A and B are shown apart, each in its own frame.
Chain A
Amino acid sequence: MKFRSLLLPLAISFSLGSNAQALKPQQGKTEQPPAPVQAPSSTAQQLYANAQQDLLQLRVLTKSGNSQSSVGSGFLIGTSNLVVTNYHVVSQIALEPDIYFGEYKDTKGKSGAIELLAVDVLHDLAVVRVNINGTGFFNVPFTAGDQPQPALAPLQQGQHLYSLGNPLDLGFTISEGTYNGESHRGFSAQLMFTGPVNPGMSGGPNVTASGHLAGVNVAHRRDGELVSFLVPAMYVQQLLAKVSPDMKPPKDFNPTIGEQLLQHQTVMVDKLLEKPFSIKQLGPYQVPVRESEQVRCWGNTDNSEKKAYSIDSINCSMESAIFVSGELQTGHLSMHHKFAQNKKLNTMQFAKLATNLYNGQVYSTAKSETITPAYCTEDFIAHKNISLRALVCTEAYHKFKELYDFTLITASTDDSEKSLQSMINIQGVSYANGVKLITEFLQGIDRTAVNDTSPKDVPTSLPTSSANPTEAAQ
């Protein structure tokens, strides 16, 4: 995942006390937003003046040390005592209520307890209850229950939008930017907002000039400039439809989260398998890939004259994943193909090269709180024109029933001068779906009839992709 969640991990900066001060000038230098500073628009001024009453900072603290673990933003809905924020801001309260609790702080510095009512892990939203009421600035029309939600004012590309929140725990801010359509890299749409959204603003509102809620701040691309993402307001409507101000919150959110993840994986796998994998050619081998809005592929060729062998690779990966906790991101899939061809090595040396590519790709751990140790099966298998060494490992999630991770790695065993190695890694799917994906993938690996020396077909290399930091939220 190339998104950076806007949750600010404060453990470091705050435990050191004076660091908050020291951090400030530095951040000011690096995060200087170009536009809004010189000429503060009167719209932003007005919006902030009206919205500040309903704007909150949400903090997650440890029960034992009473110290801050993470900080995000939130906003009061209408005149109710309900606050909308990101799930990832309050994920620790949902998963480990015995260790963490939350509190809010408003723009005047007043604070109080928060109570988690509902979560939407897939769209990264949560609703918490506080002991104050909103002034009615952030109005989100919704109809309770499963009814269709009232339509929201459509957004136009280039339209001004304003994000509010408390970036880097420095204080409440409003930042101006423009709306730039929807991004479909995930399995549910996000709005693209070209404007500064910084860690700590997670869960903060994003409004139009007329004060209508456009979305909720959720992430920004670290490898881009001002490329930020919002959760569309329609998902806020859907979540609000499920809560009421006087409801009793569930004691344990794990079953709810597990259900949502299970629901997501069905959508994900159906989408991935709606048509057969497309087949690419790597030397004499045919390999399955999936290229779509959600899964991006990158190719690479390492064929320098000095080397005694060449390696072509195709890597496909979903750009989004579902954030469950700092240790667990799921609902993700990636595929890798490596095709090694011998140029100058001895057969035994080439076998060693294949070994180096094949080994150390799958691990089992007995120490994880989130996943079980891996169990594997391996064999030589033959299929169509190819024979392979194949390994499948699977692990289950301790807290979420019916969800598993799968890894398949294969190595071709039919040629002493060529080696095709493939891998598919699937996270957070049902067992049946995992097996389905793996068999589909395995069936896609093949070799064209012998004596065929067709040229390699490798997608054009985009060097920026490999340099992208693939980082976890927080």
Chain B
Amino acid sequence: MSLPVFVELLTPDGEVIHRNKFIQLPIRIGRAYDNDIILDDPHTAAHHAQIELNQLDELVINDLGSRNGIAQDNQRNDFFVVNGDAVYRLGHTRLRVRTAAYAVADEVSDSTNHGWEGWRPALLGGVLLVTIGLLSTWLSDLQQGTLSKYLLELVSVIGFAIGWAGVWALFSRLFNGHARFGRHLLIVSSGLTVLELWEFFSGAIAYAFSLESLATFTSPPVVVICAFVLYFHLLTTGNKRPQRLKYYLAGLAILGIGITMAKQYQASNHLADELYLSNLYPPALRISSDKSLESFTTNINALKTKVDDERKENPEKGADKNVIEKIIDDSEEEDAATSTESSSSSSAIPAVPST
């Protein structure tokens, strides 16, 4: 048994709130002020537990007859032989007990590039933004616009990226104490760049090989790219469980794709975002071969069964329904007669031309 003993108060996530060092046993724990560790938890007793050595010279934590007791992994017991990796729950309070002999885990190798913070990633992000912004503006600039148009486009893109990165930097500062604005700016810039590049190259590939699905399903890749951007932002913000985060974001992405597809299907009866491949590229990018007019006509004829299946069937009207209609007809005739009178008196009808 090696002294000193450390008693650590933990958050539900397992982070240490407070660490107490003791060189003497026993250690008394409870709400009363004569304890060694005073708890502010109303679910604990005045004298709740005591850490001491038993006859076998093992360190144990004993329940002093409290109402809520001590539990480890939701198993309540009168006493536990202390294990440095176990968390003991007293009421709502979580405790961990370790001795000086506790063997800590190996040092984690540092993959963080500490030089890669601050202005360097921010500058790279800025360069990416300006490049991609200018390129996409130029590509769609069919009216040979002026410099001011380009500047306006740039300002709006950069403004958005800075605002976005700023919000993430604020989160980082809150959770991690470190804003890392430059990194966030690089992440959002890279995301926007990948989006632009994807839009251009997926369209080009779809055109080159006549891959209609690649051209018509536009939103799923965007959702996936957004999920990646979010992942890197959250990681930079200081998320300690990247594996779990991946599952969450994958789930979120699938949900997002599902929702957009469902919405699209309801509106147009097609899952794809676009009805047809509409991005045209120069002839030099064509790779797939041309079909004959005859095979195209065959494809047109094949559409007939598909649209025919979409026709709503004409509901056959039963005899019962006609009877009901008849009744409605009669009753409404009376109503109509009265309303006609009232409207004829109110609306000015010119007199018959006088002779």
Contact = CB atoms under 8 A, between A and B. Distances in A.
Interface of A: 14, 17, 20-21, 24, 40, 45, 48-49, 52, 61, 63, 66, 97-98, 101, 103, 105, 107, 109, 111, 113, 169-173, 251-252, 254, 307-309, 344-345, 347-356, 358-360, 362-367, 372-383, 387, 389-399, 401, 404, 411, 413-416, 419, 431, 435, 438-439, 442-443
Contact of A364 (B275, B328, B341, B349): B275
A362 B344 contact: no
B208 to A, nearest CB: 10
Interface stretch (B1-9, B62-70, B164-172, B289-297): B289-297
Looking at A48, A98, A413, the one whose CB has the most chain B CB atoms below 10 A away is: A413
Given A40-B353, A381-B296, A307 B280 contact: no
B307 A348 contact: no
A363 B142 contact: no
B301 interface: yes
Contacts of A349: 138-142
Contacts of B269: 364-366, 373
Nearest to A395: B307
B293 to A, nearest CB: 5
Given A372-B311, A431-B304, A365 B144 contact: no
Contacts of B341: 109
A416 B281 CA distance: 8
B281 A394 contact: no
B336 interface: yes
A48 B311 CA distance: 49
A105 B142 contact: no
Given A363-B275, A364-B269, A435-B297, A392 B348 contact: no
A135 to B, nearest CB: 15
A24 B350 CA distance: 11
A411 B290 CA distance: 13
Interface string B152-167: 0000000000000000
A308 B142 contact: yes
A356 B142 contact: yes
Given A40-B353, A98-B325, A414-B283, A352 B142 contact: yes
Given A375-B306, A377-B303, A387-B290, A20 B280 contact: no
A426 to B, nearest CB: 12
Given A170-B348, A308-B142, A354-B280, A379 B291 contact: yes
Interface in B26-44: none
B297 A439 contact: yes
Contact of B314 (A21, A254, A348, A364): A254
B143 interface: yes
B13 interface: no
B337 A392 contact: no
Contacts of A24: 348
Contacts of B328: 63
A63 B332 contact: yes
B270 A364 contact: yes
B15 interface: no
5 contacts: A40-B353, A358-B280, A363-B275, A364-B270, A379-B296
Nearest to B266: A366
A365 to B, nearest CB: 6
Looking at A14, A45, A351, A360, the one whose CB has the most chain B CB atoms below 10 A away is: A351
Contact of B278 (A103, A355, A367, A416): A355
B211 to A, nearest CB: 11
Contacts of A398: 311-312
B325 to A, nearest CB: 7
The secondary-structure label for the interface of chain A is mixed
B336 A351 contact: no
B279 A20 contact: no
A50 to B, nearest CB: 12
Contacts of B140: 349, 352
Contact of B340 (A49, A105, A416): A105
B339 A66 contact: yes
B142 A416 contact: no
Contacts of B284: 416
Nearest to A115: B329
Given A109-B344, A351-B282, A373-B310, A307 B143 contact: yes
B307 A396 contact: yes
A198 B45 CA distance: 93
A277 B281 CA distance: 30
A398 B343 CA distance: 37
A378 B348 contact: no
Nearest to A421: B280
B267 A171 contact: no
Contact of A366 (B267, B300, B311): B267
Given A109-B344, A391-B276, A378 B142 contact: no
A377 B276 CA distance: 8
A101 B328 CA distance: 10
A383 B340 contact: no
Given A351-B281, A394-B300, A66 B290 contact: no
Given A366-B266, A443-B293, A376 B142 contact: no
Please give me the 6 A-B residue pairs with the lowest Cβ-Cβ distance, nearest first: A359-B278, A373-B269, A382-B290, A372-B310, A171-B349, A366-B269
A170 B335 CA distance: 22
Contact of B282 (A372, A416, A439): A416
B333 interface: yes
B52 interface: no
Nearest to A443: B293
B289 A359 contact: no
A431 B297 CA distance: 12
A355 B280 contact: yes
B347 interface: yes
Nearest to A344: B144
A438 B210 CA distance: 21
A413 B296 contact: no
B147 interface: no
B114 interface: no
A169 B347 contact: yes
A424 to B, nearest CB: 13
B111 interface: no
A381 B138 CA distance: 31
A392 B352 contact: no
Contacts of B108: none
B283 A415 contact: yes
B288 interface: yes
Contacts of B339: 66
Contacts of A391: 276-277
B318 to A, nearest CB: 11
Contacts of A103: 333, 336, 340
B290 A376 contact: no
A140 B210 CA distance: 63
Given A376-B276, A381-B290, A442-B293, 19 more contacts: A48-B353, A97-B325, A101-B332, A349-B138, A349-B140, A349-B142, A351-B281, A363-B268, A365-B267, A365-B268, A366-B266, A373-B269, A377-B300, A380-B290, A393-B276, A394-B304, A396-B308, A435-B300, A438-B300
